[in-house]
Chains A and B, each alone.
Chain A
Amino acid sequence: MTVLSLSKALNEGMRKAMEDDPKVLIMGEDVGKLGGVFRVTDGLQKDFGEDRVIDTPLAESGIVGTAIGLALRGYRPVCEIQFDGFIFPAADQIITQLAKMPMRSLGAIKLPVVVRVPCGGGIGAVEHHSESPEAYFTHTAGLRVVSCSNPADAYTMIQQAIRSDDPVIFFEPKRRYWEKADIDTSATDWWPPLHAAKVVRPGTDVTLLAYGPMVKTCLEAATAAEEDGRSVEVVDLRSLNPLDEAVVMDSARRTGRVVVVHEAPVNSGFGAELAARITERCFYHLESPVLRVGGFSTPYPPSRLEEHYLPDLDRVLDAVDRAFGY
């Protein structure tokens, strides 16, 4: 067992992937000597060289566009987008090309490209550095979209994403980069599949559905709710597309109450998809409507207001209370 922070777990995962497969490349802004602004690629250029860990010119469309070309040539590029807000210059390449080219080729082309995106708020940053753009990408067919919430998942999921023959958008909860956990790096038999959801805390009265940075918040809320005599189940979705419907629906049917929690704005957020699917599949099991807790339908606010914008323990518990009010 090794104690690793979430960022170090990603680093170790990428290192393993690079050792296992010489076609794996890392590319992005400042990923080389600096090791990325969050140090997620720290030391990789030193050990694998400038040919495999590439400091690119400052252009996100270029990063993803050339990654597509490298993938066509048999490489497995892992792109780092420096911050969530800077994925948009690459959105054209991701949405119009990366997502659709394999299908256009009738399966002749595979594009095993991973796009890593530090996401979410809570670190007191300036604008464009705290966003949660996942719904833009779950809305785009052809992309797999996942988000890790803890070091162990970071370690396994990044390796599985790199091995996937489909493009994967990989969201990393930046405010959790420094969280630590014990990880068994010697075996792989404990790895869940990349697209499996996980019940991270069993409960009987209400289900909290979360992913990425909000999983920890939901676990804290569940602990607090227990003191009020409520048994809260927390499901870490891990994968948004595809969605592990079996785990989600099973939990919804058992508890009869579901609250979805994400940092992204509620309006047209991924929670809307979850609410609709759960309502369709589990209508007769539900005791209350599926409720959503998320960011407001506004631009991400200046950092001195982010504690109000971001869902926290109180906002989650408030929704849990409301779920019991029906």
Chain B
Amino acid sequence: MCHEAAEGGLVTVDASHGADAPPELVQLLTPEGERVEHPDYDIDLTPEDVRSLYRDLVLVRRVDLEAVALQRHGELGIWASLLGQEAAQIGSGRALTDADMAFPTYREHGVAWCRGVDPVKLLGLFRGVNHGGWDPKEHNFHLYTIVIGSQTLHAVGYAMGIQRDDASAATIVYFGDGATSQGDVNESFIWASVFNAPIVFFCQNNQWAISEPLEKQTRIPLYRRASGFGFPGIRVDGNDVFACLAVTRKALEAARTGQGPTLIEAFTYRMGAHTSADDPTRYRVASELEAWKLKDPIERVKSYLFKNEQADQAFFDAVDAEADQLGADLRRRCLAMPDPEPLDIFDHVYREPHALMDQERAQFAAYLEGFAQ
């Protein structure tokens, strides 16, 4: 009942049960590719900047598509697609500086891209060769977190560390609409508020938590939760990469300059299944997806570039060719990922020597030896 697309805008969820006027939503680029002004959030983008954002959007969509295909071919056990959420991730991801730290869920492949994480590294967890497999310090991009909401507290703690180090950096933490129900997430809001932590809470409201629509989690728009915790909340068109960039930049800057946390609700849509294991036809109607396709995050940037003659066909062709190459390369390197060795099970459980690990490793090695003879 609450997911029919309202006419002329992205304000489609009446989680306030009609008690209030539709909440404001920051938008700088319409689904038709028209630039709109906003008094608080403007952004100066050169044609070069816009082309670069477009390239990011196309490339991460391709990484995602390739992973979906790899899963179908049995090369990944499961995959959580970011389809439809590219603008939210690229916009917020490109707002980060090198010194900022990001804490993702399991769906932030676009943010990982912005942080410079090699896409093949994202596949390890889903292929079942490791539980994460990258060094969070290398790109200031933490490991994926599967337990819903846990990472919000880690992010606040990290931000409290930044505060104590007197560093000019901020932390951003990603989570979904469903996650906002978790105790950990609410506790993280309280911690951030009480300690005025330099953090941006970036909620991608993709309207669904597996099969549960937004109204199972909230009766007010999510961004309004922030005021009860004592910091600003803002809703942004999550399919508008310009707006996501502008809003996140401002929130990060506020965090870096001692003004504390902000909650950003990026209003977007999960265009695919929850994961490759999910069948959305069981719980949502196809027309909903059709309505959101008209608000596609990539198409509007393409229209903008075309209309403003900031890119020609050769540019679009070149990006597509680059995407093809990236996809093929990702596939090749996925297949080449070595399987872990049985005795790897005992590695890294502890940093320091541990007698039980040594004992079990030795026993298992002897057991495996038995088969070799």
- A-to-B contact residues, CB < 8 Å: 29-30, 32-35, 37, 55-59, 61-62, 85-86, 88-89, 124-128, 267, 296-299, 301-306, 308-309, 314-315, 318
Contact = CB atoms under 8 A, between A and B. Distances in A.
Given A34-B283, A296-B360, A127 B340 contact: no
B181 to A, nearest CB: 4
B126 A126 contact: yes
A315 B125 CA distance: 27
Given A85-B147, A296-B346, A302 B128 contact: yes
A125 B346 contact: no
B128 A33 contact: no
A285 to B, nearest CB: 27
Given A34-B283, A126-B128, 20 more contacts: A37-B210, A57-B181, A57-B216, A58-B217, A59-B182, A86-B147, A126-B146, A127-B131, A128-B147, A296-B364, A298-B357, A301-B345, A302-B340, A305-B344, A305-B345, A308-B342, A308-B345, A308-B364, A314-B371, A318-B370
Interface string B22-43: 0000000000000000000000
Nearest to B125: A126
B216 A303 contact: no
Contacts of A124: 77, 128
Nearest to A315: B367
B69 interface: no
19 contacts: A30-B212, A33-B282, A33-B283, A34-B210, A34-B211, A57-B216, A58-B178, A58-B179, A85-B147, A124-B77, A126-B126, A126-B131, A127-B131, A128-B147, A297-B360, A298-B346, A298-B357, A308-B364, A314-B371
A26 to B, nearest CB: 14
Nearest to B182: A59
Contacts of B340: 301-302, 304-305
Contacts of A61: 183
Contacts of A33: 211, 282-283
Contacts of B371: 314
Interface residues of B, number: 43
A318 B363 CA distance: 12
B149 to A, nearest CB: 8
B356 to A, nearest CB: 5
Interface of B: 77-78, 124-131, 146-148, 178-179, 181-184, 209-212, 216-217, 277-278, 282-283, 339-340, 342, 344-346, 349, 356-357, 360, 364, 367, 370-371
Contacts of B126: 126
A303 B128 contact: yes
B282 A34 contact: yes
Contacts of B124: 302
A303 B123 CA distance: 13
B77 A125 contact: yes
B182 A55 contact: no
B51 to A, nearest CB: 36
A61 B131 CA distance: 25
Contacts of B146: 85, 126-128
Contacts of A34: 210-211, 282-283
Given A34-B282, A298-B346, A29 B210 contact: yes
Nearest to A34: B211
Nearest to A295: B345
A294 B217 CA distance: 39
Contacts of B211: 30, 32-34, 55
A311 to B, nearest CB: 12
A299 B349 contact: yes
Contacts of B349: 298-299
Contacts of A62: 181, 183
Contacts of A127: 125, 131, 146
Most-contacted residue by chain B among A124, A304, A318 (CB, 10 A): A304
B20 to A, nearest CB: 21
Given A303-B128, A305-B342, A267 B356 contact: yes
A85 B346 CA distance: 20
A304 B128 contact: yes
A113 B48 CA distance: 60
A318 B181 contact: no
Nearest to A309: B345
Given A126-B125, A296-B360, A302-B131, A58 B344 contact: no
A239 to B, nearest CB: 29
A267 B127 CA distance: 28
B174 to A, nearest CB: 15
B127 A29 contact: no
A62 B178 CA distance: 13
B181 A58 contact: yes
